[in-house]
Amino acid sequence: MSSDNHTEGIKVLVTGFGPFPRSDGTTYTKNSSHEITKLLPQALPPFSPFNPTSANISILNPTATEGSAVKVEYAHIRNYTSALHSTHGNDVNLILHIGMADGWDFISCERRAYKQTFTSSWGSRVLGLLGRYYMIKDFAGKTVKDAGPCPWDDDVPMGLCTGLDVDQVVEGAGKTLKGMFGRDVRGHEDGGTYCCGFIYYESLANKFTKGSTAEVLFCHVPGDLDQFSLRAGANSICAIIGAAASQLLEERKHGASLRPVAAKSQEESVVAETATSTVSAQQRQRAMEMMASGYGGEQALQATKFNA
């Protein structure tokens, strides 16, 4: 990396979600993604523990204060992400959305998300919703249908991937966290069938159609709300930011521009559905999909056993 990168700052904008309904009719009154944003610093100085680069990384955190988290409502998310990209799409280098996956013990970097018209057989098996994504009711008791018709035409692919190399981000974050206080960071295939996947696709689609220069990434964090776990989560998010910044600087160095790309086809994606030897993989995927959609870990595991 060039020695003059100290003059090239990286700006990252982070969002976290607010309360959302549990599958048993109660409510997650606190969302770990929002609580973690409260613990993030305003900057990661050059060559500091979570920043391996010579550039200063500034962190914009508009949802960190009490009451400012992104509402877990489809219509709100659509309007919020559109406004976010209109205001900040060319002022920041990375927009990082964070959501909660109760029952997970790791932090994920999601590779892709799907349009609201997307259907899948794995979604049908897990959720019993004819394979339609975003049909789980949000905090307002609405589904994606209540957010209006899909604004993205056929020119916007059914699935969109982040322009970042997720494996490289995960590897870089892991190196930073080695021997440090944090959570395991892993790549994951799909932002999910609920509002997490929805905000990821909406954000990627805004970048895709508006020509925004800001890269987009989504991370799921565990649902643990004790201060020990939240601090570990915040450290891991900082490591992810540092790893993403390193990749962005390398791309900048070579004059490249990252852009969302069409996701792989269903057949190439999450589950090899015709293979009889992938039952355990299907069970794991179903559990992850359910947990990303607001189901508790044990409940998801029990459901996968039943469905298997």
Residues across the chain: 308
pLDDT score, position 120: 83
pLDDT in tens, 143-172: 999 999 999 999 999 999 999 999 999 999
pLDDT score, position 253: 85
pTM of the entire predicted model: 0.82
pLDDT in tens, 31-66: 999 999 999 999 999 999 999 999 999 999 999 999
The answer to whether residue 292 scores a pLDDT higher than 70 is no
User: How far apart (Å, rounded) are the C-alpha atoms in residues 31 and 103?
Assistant: 13
Domain 5-307 has CATH 3.40.50.720: no
The answer to whether residue 287 scores a pLDDT higher than 50 is no
Q: How confident is the model at residue 20 (pLDDT cuts 50, 70, 90)?
A: very high
User: How far apart (Å, rounded) are the C-alpha atoms in residues 83 and 77?
Assistant: 10
The answer to whether residue 224 scores a pLDDT higher than 90 is yes
User: Minimum mean pLDDT among 142-156, 206-220, 233-247, 248-262: which range?
Assistant: 248-262
Structure letter (DSSP) for residue 266: G
Annotated domain spans of the chain = 5-307
Name the 3-class secondary structure at 195.
helix
Strand partners, 59: 12
Output Rg (C-alpha) for the chain, integer angstroms: 18
Name the residue with tokens 């892709």: 112
Q: How confident is the model at residue 121 (pLDDT cuts 50, 70, 90)?
A: confident
User: How far apart (Å, rounded) are the C-alpha atoms in residues 121 and 241?
Assistant: 34
The answer to whether residue 5 scores a pLDDT higher than 60 is no
The answer to whether residue 246 scores a pLDDT higher than 80 is yes
List, in sequence order, the alpha helices (H) in 107-264.
121-127, 166-177, 195-210, 227-253
93 vs 127, residue with greater confidence: 93
Dihedral sign computed on CA atoms, order 202, 208, 209, 212: positive
Dihedral sign computed on CA atoms, order 65, 246, 7, 217: negative
> Smallest Cα–Cα separation from 282: which of 291, 273, 269, 292?
273
pLDDT in tens, 274-283: 222 222 344 3
pLDDT score, position 257: 55
Structure letter (DSSP) for residue 293: T
pLDDT score, position 200: 98
Strand partners, 60: 13
